[in-house]
Amino acid sequence: MAKNKVAIVGMGNKGSSVYRVLRIMESVDVVGAADLNMTTPGMMLVRRDRVFVTEDYEELVVKPEVDTIIVATGGTEVLERVQKVKSAGATVLEARSGSLLMDILQSKEELLDVKKLKGELWAILNSVQEAIEMADNTGLIKYVNPAFTRVTGIPEEVRVGKNIFEVSPHGALANSLVKQKPVVGYRSKVGGSGVEVISNASPIVVEGEIIGGVVVFQPITDILKLMDELQKSTTIIENLYAKIDQITGSKFTFDDLIGTSKIFQASLEMAKKAARNDSPVLLAGETGTGKELFAHAIHQASNRRGKPFIKVSCASVPEELLESELFGHEKGAFTGAVKTKLGKVELANGGTLFLDEISEMNPYLQGKLLRLLQDREFERVGGSHGAKADVRIIAATNIDLKSLVRRARFREELYFRLNVIEINLPPLRQRKEDISLLVDNLITKLNRKLGKKIKGVSPEALQLLANYDWPANIRELESVVERAMVSVDNDHIGQQHLSLYIGQFSNTQTISSTEIMALDKMEQIMLKAALMRYGETLEGKKKAAQALNISLATLYNKLKKYNTI
Residue 88 maps to which CATH number? 3.40.50.720
Domain residues for the domain of 84 are 4-108
Give the DSSP letter of residue 140. Answer: B
Same domain, 31 and 78: yes
- CATH number of the domain where residue 534 is located: 1.10.8.60
Instruction: Please classify residue 103 by burial: count the beta carbons closer than 10 Å to its beta carbon, then call 0-12 exposed, 13-18 middle and 19+ buried.
Output: exposed
Same domain, 211 and 269: no
Question: Is pLDDT of 22 > 90?
Answer: no
Same domain, 23 and 142: no
Classify residue 300: in a domain, yes or no: yes
Same domain, 411 and 281: yes
pLDDT tens string 377-397: 998 888 777 788 999 999 999
Tell me the average pLDDT across 67-92.
86
Torsion, Cα 173 179 184 186, to 10 degrees, reads: -60
Classify residue 291: in a domain, yes or no: yes
Same domain, 402 and 434: no
Same domain, 323 and 398: yes
Classify residue 403: in a domain, yes or no: yes
Question: pLDDT above 90 covers what percent of the chain?
Answer: 34
pLDDT band at 222; cut points 50, 70, 90? low
pLDDT band at 104; cut points 50, 70, 90? low
Classify residue 85: in a domain, yes or no: yes
Do residues 63 and 86 make contact, with C-beta atoms less than 8 angstroms apart?
no
Classify residue 81: in a domain, yes or no: yes
**Structural domain count, the chain:** 4
pLDDT tens string 310-366: 999 998 888 888 988 999 888 877 777 768 788 899 888 899 999 999 999 999 999
Question: Is pLDDT of 498 > 80?
Answer: yes
Same domain, 262 and 215: no
Question: Is pLDDT of 182 > 90?
Answer: yes
- CATH number of the domain where residue 344 is located: 3.40.50.300
What is the structure's pLDDT at 113?
52
* Residue with the larger pLDDT of the pair 372 and 251: 372
Same domain, 314 and 355: yes
Alpha carbons 143 and 151: distance in angstroms, whole number = 15
Domain boundary pick from 80, 108, 136: 108
pLDDT band at 512; cut points 50, 70, 90? very low
Same domain, 418 and 309: yes
Question: Is pLDDT of 106 > 60?
Answer: no
**Helix then strand then coil, % of the chain, to nearest 5:** 50, 20, 35
Same domain, 199 and 273: no
Classify residue 229: in a domain, yes or no: no
What is the structure's pLDDT at 227?
67
Classify residue 115: in a domain, yes or no: no
Please tell me the least confidently modeled range out of 55-59, 197-201, 333-337: 333-337
Same domain, 268 and 379: yes
pLDDT tens string 259-314: 999 999 999 999 999 999 999 999 999 999 999 999 999 999 999 988 889 999 99
Question: Is pLDDT of 539 > 50?
Answer: yes
Same domain, 271 and 370: yes
State how far the alpha carbon of 291 is from the alpha carbons of 256, 402, 418, in Å.
Answer: 13, 18, 15
pLDDT tens string 109-153: 554 554 555 555 666 666 677 888 989 999 999 888 888 888 888
